Amino acid sequence: MQDNTLTLKTPIEHKGHTYSTLTMREPRVRDTVIADKQGGTDAEVEIRIFANLCEVPPAVVENMAMRDYRGLQSIYEGFLS
């Protein structure tokens, strides 16, 4: 079973809440469809997908350190392989 929890090397503060870990649920086809319908760049769509799967506002994902974001990408890719 895949570990789908990421401990952030750089915690995120957003609206009075500190996010030090994010847990990503397994993606469903509908998650991609919903994010695609909102349009935007590939990066914006991916951010919305990750935010939805981690049940956090998109601003949390947008403000992540790149090394932490790469960790989310790795978890996501693990679900697809």
Asked whether residue 57 carries a pLDDT value surpassing 60, the answer given is yes
Total domain count, the chain: 1
Average the pLDDT over 8-34 and give the result.
Answer: 96
Residues of the domain holding 9:
5-80
What's the whole-number average pLDDT of the chain?
A: 94
The span from the CA of 48 to the CA of 37, in Å, is: 11
Residue 60 phi/psi, 5-degree rounding, is: -65, -45
The span from the CA of 15 to the CA of 13, in Å, is: 7
pLDDT band of residue 56 (cuts 50, 70, 90) is very high
Residue 11 phi/psi, 5-degree rounding, is: -60, 155
